[in-house]
Amino acid sequence: DKLHAALAAAGDDPTKQMHARHKVCLPIQRPIIQQLGFEPSLRGVQQSFGALADELRYDPDIATRIKTMSVLVERREPHEERDMKKHADSEAKRAQHAAKHPAVHVEPMEG
């Protein structure tokens, strides 16, 4: 509730939203990231996100948690998440199709 109120007060200004998010989230994040060996600061939060290895991001449980956090922290509505997933799925299918059916290049005939 605090986060949503702070984001609402920030309006549509992305910079104000970012500062509001930091103001609400950082006090909660500091002790957690400090226990994990990162400095208890915004820089430490950023480093902890960077330390999350790509292979962990594809773990189904972690992926679900990341999506949940995105909805909660970024104020994304569930339908926006669905639309993003549909787009990603569509792009993946397009890439698979392109890999199976490479474009054929035809040289022009000389006349």
**Residue pLDDT tens, the chain, 111 long:** 888 899 899 998 989 999 999 999 999 999 998 998 999 999 998 888 778 766 676 788 887 887 787 777 776 555 555 555 555 565 556 656 556 665 544 455 565
- Residue 26's pLDDT is 93
Cα–Cα distance between 35 and 107 in angstroms, integer?
63
* Structural domain total, the chain: 2
- Residue 90's pLDDT is 59
What DSSP character marks residue 11? T
The owner of tokens 């639309």 is 83
Phi-psi region of 37 (alpha: psi -120 to 50; beta: other; left: phi over 0): left
Phi-psi region of 101 (alpha: psi -120 to 50; beta: other; left: phi over 0): beta
- Residue 15's pLDDT is 92
**pTM for the full predicted model:** 0.55
Residue 103 lies in a domain: no
Residue 105 lies in a domain: no
Same domain, yes or no, for 67 and 91?
yes
Residue ranges making up the domain that contains 17: 1-51
